């Protein structure tokens, strides 16, 4: 992956919500292959105590291993329709051999842990691929609306400290079915992406939640912000839509990640992420208005 491959600016309106038109190794912890996710939630009493605990920050990125990143490109995937963000970014992470080096600590993140193939993981993780100067953010937990501002601020403070040059958000827009296409929007010059087969430029759109918050911060800072979106199942994990996002990243960034495992293992992925899908379905109120 090389820097500067994301086109530079799209001036889009952001009307009120409506609906969607038709390898050098680091010393950091190796990223486990994606699959087998189990969420362990803590009961309401402990959750309330954790929120009140004075040592838990509003939000901060905590690095636990060194990562040599200088002005990196950042790929980000958060829980949304079809869980396509964490599925696509997680697949890129495991396929390219990214290493986990940091996590988000926040009193706004519900106390939980996830296991990937038996490995205990933070629900909000940061990975590095030093050879391509790329960072990846994978969040596998629903975030409360009231905490998004703090988490966005902490994330962007960390991105600024690393001199991040580009932020690429991978997300899904709820639809009845996936249409096999990816949709693209950026701050500047999206004509290049519109010329790529299978990728359409978004002329108008609205992106909510933490994805929208981070893209909004890009407009205020010297970071190129862009979104790769797909129409995805709103009720269950959508590996086919996630595979479309992976292929779109390949087309725009010159990577060569094989997306076929997402299709071959679709049934297992849907089963593995069924509980997270249900959690998203219960808490997707702020995302209902997302459209493009």
pLDDT in tens, 73-87: 999 999 999 999 999
Q: Length of the chain, please? A: 292
pLDDT band at 285 (very low <50, low <70, confident <90, very high): low
CA neighbours closer than 13 Å in the CB half-sphere of residue 23: 14
Q: Where are the domains of the chain?
A: 29-287
Range of weakest confidence among 123-127, 151-155, 203-207: 203-207
Q: What is the pLDDT of residue 36?
A: 39
- Mean pLDDT, the chain, as a whole number? 80
What is the per-residue pLDDT across 49-71, written as a single tens digit (0 to 9) for each?
444 444 778 999 999 999 999 99
Residues 9-27, mean pLDDT to the nearest whole number:
43
Select, from the ranges 75-89, 115-129, 197-211, the one with the highest average predicted confidence (pLDDT).
Answer: 75-89
Edge to edge, the sheet with strand 112-116 lists 37-41, 112-116, 119-121
Q: What is the pLDDT of residue 47?
A: 43
pLDDT at 203 > cutoff 60: yes
Q: What is the pLDDT of residue 208?
A: 86
Residues 248-257, mean pLDDT to the nearest whole number:
93
Range of weakest confidence among 17-31, 116-130, 222-236: 17-31
State what percent of residues in the chain have pLDDT above 70.
73
Q: What is the pLDDT of residue 247?
A: 97
Q: What is the pLDDT of residue 124?
A: 96
Q: What is the pLDDT of residue 192?
A: 62
Query: What is the 3-state secondary structure of the chain?
Result: CCCCCCCCECCCECCCCCCCCCCCCCCCEECCCCCCEEEEECCHHHHHHHHHCCCCCCCEEEECCCCCCCCCEEEEECCCHHHHHHHHHHHHHHHHCCEEEEEEECCCCCCEEEEECCEEECCEEEEEEHHHCEEEEEECCCCCHHHHHHHHHHHHHHHHHCCCCEEEEEEEEEECCCCCCEEEEEEEECHHHHCCCCEEECCECECCHHHHHHHHHHHHCCCEEEEEEEEEECCCCCHHHHHHHHHHHHHHHCCCCCCHHHHHCHHHHHHHCHHHHHHHHHCCHHHCCCEC
Q: What is the pLDDT of residue 46?
A: 44
Tell me how far the alpha carbon of residue 215 is from its chain's centroid: 12
pLDDT band at 284 (very low <50, low <70, confident <90, very high): low
pLDDT at 163 > cutoff 90: yes
Residues 15-36, mean pLDDT to the nearest whole number:
46
pLDDT at 17 > cutoff 60: no
pLDDT at 8 > cutoff 60: no
CATH number for region 29-287:
3.40.50.10900
pLDDT at 1 > cutoff 80: no
């Amino acid at each position: 992956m090389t820097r500067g491959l994301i086109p530079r600016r799209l001036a889009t309106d952001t009307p009120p919500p409506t609906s969607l038109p038709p390898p050098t190794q680091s010393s950091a912890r190796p990223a486990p292959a994606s699959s087998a996710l189990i969420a362990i939630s803590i009961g309401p009493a402990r959750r309330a105590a954790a929120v009140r605990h004075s040592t838990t920050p509003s939000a901060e990125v905590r690095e636990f291993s060194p990562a040599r990143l200088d002005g990196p490109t950042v790929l980000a995937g958060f829980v949304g329709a079809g869980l396509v963000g964490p599925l696509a970014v997680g697949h890129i992470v495991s396929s390219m051999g990214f290493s986990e080096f940091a996590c988000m600590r926040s009193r706004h993140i519900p106390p939980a842990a996830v296991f990937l193939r038996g490995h205990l993981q933070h629900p909000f993780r940061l990975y590095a691929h030093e050879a391509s100067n790329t960072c990846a953010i994978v969040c596998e937990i629903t975030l409360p609306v009231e905490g998004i501002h703090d988490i966005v601020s902490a994330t962007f403070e960390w991105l600024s400290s690393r001199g991040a040059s580009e932020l690429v958000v991978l997300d899904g827009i709820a639809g009845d079915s996936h249409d096999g296409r990816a949709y693209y929007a950026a701050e500047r010059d999206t004509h290049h992406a519109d010329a790529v087969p299978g990728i359409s430029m978004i002329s108008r759109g609205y992106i909510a939640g933490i994805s929208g918050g981070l893209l909004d911060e890009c407009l205020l800072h010297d970071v190129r912000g862009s979104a790769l979106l797909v129409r995805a199942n709103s009720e269950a994990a959508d590996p086919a839509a996630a595979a479309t996002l992976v292929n779109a990243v390949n087309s725009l960034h010159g990577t060569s990640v094989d997306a076929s495992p997402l299709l071959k293992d679709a049934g297992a992925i849907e089963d593995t992420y069924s509980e997270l899908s249900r959690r998203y379905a219960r808490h997707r109120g702020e995302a209902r208005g997302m459209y493009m």
